[in-house]
Structure 1
Amino acid sequence: MTTTPRTTTATDPARPGARERNPRGQGGRLRDDILTAATDLLDESGTEESVTLRAVARRAGISAPAIYGHFADRQTILLAVVQGAFAELDERLRAAHTEDDGSEGDPVARLHRVCAAYLDFAATRPQRYRAMFGGLWNTQRALAEENVTAGDLTDLGQDALEVLATALQDCVAAGRSGSDDPRGDAVALWLGLHGLAHQRVVTAAFPWPADIIERLVVPLAHLVPAADGDR
């Protein structure tokens, strides 16, 4: 009996690394797959050098040209990865802000939880965190090539910063912070947290004081002790 050799194609699931074609109307699924592949590559390597169109396509099981239907180039893929990381950071901060930890709505406790959540994100997502703030992708070139806008960049992190500002404003409203510019002081507090998060990574063996977060948050948030009647 003679059999006809089976010919595989780019969408043949029998071929190693091949990916089944998405049903019509499910292009969003392919975009998500591309982002997942790029994010996984970044997490595994910690460097932008690994996030190439060819590597992303190979990880997603598609051909490199298929990427162009969703992303103009490598820079726009990296921007989307960073946007996803900021969205996760925002989600973690909001969860910390609304968490019921038995503190009976103490705004200072909420602020500390938000700050701790920020530092925890940086510690558990180190590669994404570096991409968010460490310049792993070339924003100037992306702007010059007009594949991203200045608005794309200035919007990054604004939602997360708003959670921090709200937590600080709650402290002001409760008389627990002397800040007269909660938004501006939230930016200063973020810079302090960012510096600590970065230094924890690059100086892993440094003997940090046990109360380092308290030493950082109290002055930058202008926190004051509770009045006698509020204790």
Structure 2
Amino acid sequence: MSAISERRERERAHRHQLIVTAARELAETEGWEAVTTRRLAERVEYSQPVLYSHFSGRNDIVRAVAMDGFIELAAQLRRARQAAPAPESRAGQALRAVCGAYLEFATERPALYQAMFVLPTDLKFASAETPPPLRACFDEFVDCFRPDDDRRELVAEVTWSALHGMAVLSGSGRIPPDAQGERLDFLITRFAGAPLGAPGGPAAP
């Protein structure tokens, strides 16, 4: 690649990230209903045709914001898990740290969380087409359970689903946010400890 081509690629990448950052900032201050191609074009001081040369439309921009979010979430979950004792040493400590980090992320970045999990996108979960940042988030939950547990991916999925419900219902005021710690304690008690599926283990109904 020539020096001119490399410079153009850098400029294009810069414009791309500038648009994504502007969309995220606008959503955080005014909500996603305020994020339109016209508003973004004005905010980044590019024409709408330039914006459309990077994104096919609003949904494509939401997808790009969501991808940024999954990269950030994976890093936050990883830091939390690595700072906790390994699952083999103290059952539940890593899981509680990861779950707590997840709920903290959802609370502190509501607009970003909406882009990742609520607004329509073509991002696929639990699929061969799942982007690596999404899989990295899921793997942080999986790694909280013992490697010899053949149901750990299933329980990781159920744990994530429960956390999402807690985050959305609490964020919308459907359930009291001040009881989130108690809910989290209950969730960890159910899923951490004895090997999953063992007689009398916490995964039993």
TM-score (norm 2): 0.77
Separation of aligned partners in 2, 1:131 and 1:90: 15
Of Structure 1 and Structure 2, which has the larger fraction of its residues in helix?
Answer: 2
> Structure 2 counterpart of 1:163, which letter?
E
> Structure 2 counterpart of 1:30, which letter?
R
* Percent of matched pairs sharing the same residue: 30
1:117 aligns with 2:101: yes
Count of residues in correspondence between the two structures? 185
- Which of the numbers 12, 32, 40 marks the counterpart of 2:25? 40
Q: Which sits farther off after the overlay, 30-39 or 66-75?
A: 66-75
1:55 aligns with 2:26: no
1:187 paired residue number: 157
1:165 paired residue number: 142
2:201 paired residue number: none
Per-residue deviation at 1:44? 1.2
1:36 to 1:201, Cα distance in 2 relative to 1, 3 A: same
1:84 aligns with 2:68: yes
2:199 paired residue number: none
Separation of aligned partners in 2, 1:24 and 1:91: 30
> Structure 2 counterpart of 1:183, which letter?
E
> Structure 2 counterpart of 1:58, which letter?
E
Per-residue deviation at 1:211? 2.7
Q: Which sits farther off after the overlay, 107-116 or 29-38?
A: 107-116
SS of 2:144 mapped into structure 1: helix
SS of 2:193 mapped into structure 1: coil
1:152 to 1:81, Cα distance in 2 relative to 1, 3 A: farther
Taking only aligned residues, the RMSD between alpha carbons, in angstroms, comes to 3.1
Larger radius of gyration: 1
Q: Which sits farther off after the overlay, 183-192 or 196-205?
A: 196-205
1:229 paired residue number: none
1:65 to 1:153, Cα distance in 2 relative to 1, 3 A: farther
> Structure 1 counterpart of 2:41, which letter?
A
**Gaps in structure 1 of 5+ consecutive residues:** 1-22, 174-178, 226-231
TM-score (norm 1): 0.69
| Conservation of the 8 A alpha-carbon contact between 2:84 and 2:93 | no
Per-residue deviation at 1:224? 3.6
Per-residue deviation at 1:161? 0.8
Separation of aligned partners in 1, 2:146 and 2:52: 44
Per-residue deviation at 1:222? 4.5
Per-residue deviation at 1:89? 0.8
